[in-house]
Amino acid sequence: MDEESLRTDYWVDTRSHPDFPYWVIFKHIGHDPQRADGAPYLRATGEAVPEVLKRLELHPGLPTWAHELSIPPDALRAAFWYAIWLLERMPAPSSWHDWNHTLDEAWQKGLFNP
């Protein structure tokens, strides 16, 4: 198994299922009710995505990011909290289970490690 064949297999298997995320998302974000309190997680570290977003929301650079995006800091903060709120309440579809397991295995075997 290599990344190219896995990516191709993923595309072939999921192209008729529009509820599956793009490869680049699914490659890096896992969904397993038994991990990260059921929240999506970063495959590379196992960290829950909502927790990562909470750290970004508290990051001292947030006002600078908001300025660079030409939006008020409170609006950027609200966007993070909205994403967190959604992620904590929307479980992944059960149809993702097999591919989620396959990609977690690939990460554990070091396929995506630099």
pTM for this model (two decimals): 0.88
Structure tokens, 5: 């064949």
Angle between helices 97-108 and 3-14 (to 10 degrees): 180
Alpha-carbon span 62 to 58, nearest angstrom: 7
Alpha-carbon span 52 to 39, nearest angstrom: 11
pLDDT tens-digit map of 45-93? 999 999 999 999 999 999 999 999 999 999 999 999 999 999 999 888 9
- Domain boundary assignment for the chain: 3-108
Query: How high does pLDDT run on average in the chain?
Result: 94
What does the DSSP assignment read for 37-55? GGS-EETTT--BHHHHHHH
Alpha-carbon span 64 to 78, nearest angstrom: 15
